[in-house]
């Protein structure tokens, strides 16, 4: 029974396979598929044609032993120019495995012609697998970044390190 089904399937598909056209690569690297006239041909795709070359580099900054008193905030002003970046990545690690549940991280952005920073995204330090380490991704809203660390708890928080990392693009 199985052999009869396979033979029938082969006989039915044989005429279709005769008329099938494989994709061919043209001299300039474009993919071309011959049309039988029943449907418009798919547009050709040219990988990398007319696309500007994009290089990138990865600037970073870090701070060690940052202490935030209960109910207060600490501002960390980055000296990196974020005008050609798409995000700022921030990681924090507490001293001696202390919990970061009371830590709040706020992103503030400005451009050189503005006098003040504007608030953007806010993240809390709770809700991660590790109680003493967190990672956050902030979208870019300006060229100058200020990270505000706020302690909403009743005891001080000391961070062994704060790392800010970004990928900047160069055309």
Same domain? 28 vs 111: no
Same domain? 129 vs 96: yes
Q: Which residues, other chains included, contact 131 with Cβ-Cβ below 8 Å and sequence gap of 6+?
A: 97, 98, 99, 100, 101
Domain that holds residue 42: 1-51
Same domain? 162 vs 108: yes
Same domain? 29 vs 93: no
CA distances from 159 to 20, 72, 129 (A): 65, 14, 18
Put simply, whether the predicted model's pTM sits higher than 0.85 gets the answer: no
Same domain? 44 vs 65: no
Q: Which residues, other chains included, contact 30 with Cβ-Cβ below 8 Å and sequence gap of 6+?
A: 44, 45, 46
Same domain? 164 vs 89: yes
Same domain? 82 vs 139: yes
| pLDDT tens by residue, the chain, 171 residues | 544 544 444 444 444 433 333 333 333 333 333 334 444 444 444 444 555 556 777 889 999 999 999 999 999 999 999 999 999 999 999 998 889 999 999 999 999 998 899 999 999 888 778 889 999 999 999 999 999 999 999 999 999 999 999 998 876
Same domain? 120 vs 162: yes
Same domain? 33 vs 95: no
CATH code, domain carrying 145: 2.60.120.380
Same domain? 102 vs 129: yes
Q: Which residues, other chains included, contact 62 with Cβ-Cβ below 8 Å and sequence gap of 6+?
A: 161, 162, 163, 164
């Amino acid at each position: 029974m199985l052999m009869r089904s396979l033979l029938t399937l082969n006989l039915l598909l044989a005429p279709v396979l005769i008329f099938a056209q494989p994709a061919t690569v043209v001299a300039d690297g474009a993919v071309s598929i011959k049309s039988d006239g029943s449907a418009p041909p798919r547009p050709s795709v040219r990988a990398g044609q007319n696309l500007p070359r994009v290089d990138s580099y990865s600037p970073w900054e870090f701070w060690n032993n940052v202490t935030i008193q209960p109910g207060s905030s600490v501002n960390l002003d980055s000296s990196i120019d974020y005008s050609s970046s798409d995000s700022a990545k921030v990681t924090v690690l507490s001293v001696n495995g202390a919990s970061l549940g009371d830590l709040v991280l706020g992103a503030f952005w400005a451009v050189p012609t503005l006098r003040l920073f504007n608030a953007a995204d806010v993240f809390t330090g709770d809700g991660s697998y590790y109680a003493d380490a967190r990672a956050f991704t902030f979208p870019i809203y300006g060229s100058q970044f200020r990270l505000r660390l706020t302690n909403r708890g009743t005891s001080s928080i000391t961070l062994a390190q704060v790392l800010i990392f970004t990928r900047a693009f160069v055309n």
